[in-house]
Amino acid sequence: MRRAGLVGVPRVRPWSWQAFLLGLIAVAVSAALQAICAALGAELYFATFLPSLFVLGLVAGAPAAIFAALLTVPLVWWAFMPPVFKISPLTAADADSINLFFLLAVLLIGLADLCRKAMAIVSRGGLKSPGESAATNSQ
């Protein structure tokens, strides 16, 4: 039986400095992709950040993904919301975009954390039923 997991992708300990560095890299790559989308005319402020949060949650754990989500909001507010490269008061639509991003980020990070825990359980051999214990005599 083949074990489940991310084939070829190393997993990082959740509270390590490597996990948070990976979070910074994910935010930077997502910001670059968002800049390309903005240059093409798309105004979906958080579109490229959500998939990277999910992947980051799978690879580096929930703390790094939460760090990246918290880092994303001021970055998007400064770099992508009009007027660009300037912090200005939020409009109602911008505040709604940030609230929706936080809602989706919480859901995606939670799902990634559950998937990460499920992969750990499967890689250990799965859950054992109480009848399969070594202490139980099956006579």
Judge whether 10 lies within some domain: no
Q: Which residues form the domain of 110?
A: 17-125
Q: Hey, what are 14's tokens?
A: 């959740």
Q: Read off the pLDDT of each residue in 2-24 and give the average, rounded to a whole number.
A: 78
Q: Per-residue pLDDT for 128 more than 80?
A: no
pLDDT in tens, 64-80: 999 999 999 999 999 99
Q: Hey, what are 2's tokens?
A: 């083949």
Tally the domains of the chain.
Answer: 1
Judge whether 117 lies within some domain: yes
Judge whether 139 lies within some domain: no
Judge whether 36 lies within some domain: yes
pTM of the shown model: 0.83
Q: State residue 130's pLDDT score.
A: 66
Residue whose C-alpha is closest to residue 58's, from 45, 48, 68, 46: 68
pLDDT in tens, 30-44: 999 999 999 999 888
